[in-house]
Amino acid sequence: MGSATPLNIPASAAALFQDLPKGKWWGIIEYVQFEGFWYSAPRLQASLTARSNFEALDDDVILASCPKTGTTWLKALIPSIMNRTGEFKDDDSDDPLLKNHPNAFMPSLEMKIFRDTPNPDLSDMVSPRLFRTHVPYTMLSESAQKSDCKIVYITRDPKDAFVSFWHFMNTNVPPSLGKLPIDAAFESFCKGVYPFGPLQDHALGYFQESQMRPEKILFLKYEELKKDPKGQLKKLASFLGKPFVNEEEVDKILWRCSLERLKSLEVNQNGVDPWDGLAYKTYFRLGNVGDWKNSLTPEMKDRLDEITLKKLEGSDLVFGSS
Ligand code: A3P
């Protein structure tokens, strides 16, 4: 672990903190912009702590994403791939997902591990350790970038991610705040003022790295997982060094991690995440590609598509499935 200043914000960054550009997220919550990305102050603090102090091991697996891009699906799939024994009980009673929300298997670097301390004790984590993060590539610790640890990245059409996030927030804000109007939410999102946004820049950072080092970073798209779950799952398992030996394993894991199943489990219907206080059920909604059509006007669609196109100009990244 590296040496820590109080809360381990490097002195220069701590000084910068108050002078950082500020934006109101959905007109309500103050966000700050750091190195091109938007954070709430506590999240930035924890992210900087993780960047300074997280020592990745070569066999770690880190799941990275922007919020609402399919992270929960991967939080279920990756541990199921990594921890499988090759045998599955027919009634699924051997499945840890039965009693635990997927968050339990891939702790968040900035929302849990480094949230309250610069020196967390990770000695009881067994290898291969599994983590997740929402930070952009440039905010990963040096060892996460340079070691042989694997990074799985998932992204999604920004329009669907935005609509998913808008619903997520509306089910989680205190009733006193009322419903967050979609127009204000959309305005913020278009400016990139969204946790860890702009989503397009976030995806582009990981995409470019994945092109240079495909053995280190696997770049996945929610739409492709939905279109060809078996093919994508096999690709993921091979990337993680745990290729499937038969189709039965693939089918079983896809079923165990399916939205339909996870949504119906008691733990996910009634549980609450102890770290962020969010009801587990709000992590599972429709899981449809193109659901934005039910919430965005044609003008909103055109505006966001144009922003996305501009941001991706000159790159090979295209959102959605091919
Ligand atoms: P929708 O709101 O469009 O339904 P994240 O996990 O990054 O927060 O993303 C949440 C989105 O992924 C939500 O999309 C949610 O319904 C969907 N999702 C959650 N678990 C899933 C699963 N097991 N399979 C497919 N989609 C899932």
Domain of 301: which CATH number? Answer: 3.40.50.300
Of the chain, the percentage scoring pLDDT greater than 90 comes to: 80
Confidence class of residue 75 from pLDDT cuts 50, 70 and 90?
very high
Confidence class of residue 11 from pLDDT cuts 50, 70 and 90?
low
Atom of ligand 1 nearest to the CA of 160: 3
Unique residue bearing structure tokens 């670097």: 109
Q: Which of 46, 87, 45, 81 is nearest to 63 (CA)?
A: 81
What tokens does 136 get?
Answer: 């952009």
Question: What is the CA(294)–ligand 1 centre distance, in A?
Answer: 16
What pLDDT, on a 0 to 100 scale, did the predictor assign at position 117? 92
Is there a domain that residue 9 lies in?
no
Atom of ligand 1 nearest to the CA of 161: 3
Atom of ligand 1 nearest to the CA of 69: 7
Residue to mutate (ligand 1; options 69, 73, 132, 157; most atoms within 8 A of CB): 73
Is there a domain that residue 47 lies in?
no
Q: Range of 93's domain?
A: 55-312
Is there a domain that residue 146 lies in?
yes
Residue at 292: amino acid letter: W
d(CA 72, CA 281): 11
Per DSSP, the three-state class of 282 is helix
Is there a domain that residue 96 lies in?
yes
Q: In what order do the strands lie in the sheet with 130-133?
A: 130-133, 61-65, 150-155, 217-221
Asked whether the beta carbons of 6 and 52 are under 8 A apart, the reply is no
Is there a domain that residue 33 lies in?
no
Of the chain, the percentage scoring pLDDT greater than 70 comes to: 95
User: What tens digit of pLDDT does each residue of 87-141 get?
Assistant: 888 889 999 999 999 999 999 999 999 998 999 999 999 999 999 999 999 999 9
Q: How many domains does the chain have?
A: 1
Which residues lie across from 133 on neighbouring strands? Answer: 64
Is there a domain that residue 188 lies in?
yes
Residues annotated catalytic, as ranges: 134
Query: Going by CA atoms, what residue is nearest to atom 17 of ligand 1?
Result: 287
Rounded to the nearest integer, the mean pLDDT of the chain is 92
What pLDDT, on a 0 to 100 scale, did the predictor assign at position 16? 56
Q: Residues near 276 by Cβ (< 8 Å), separated by ≥ 6? A: 111
Model pTM?
Answer: 0.94
Is there a domain that residue 113 lies in?
yes
Is the pLDDT reported for residue 2 higher than 50?
Answer: no
Is there a domain that residue 288 lies in?
yes
Question: What is the CA(119)–ligand 1 centre distance, in A?
Answer: 32
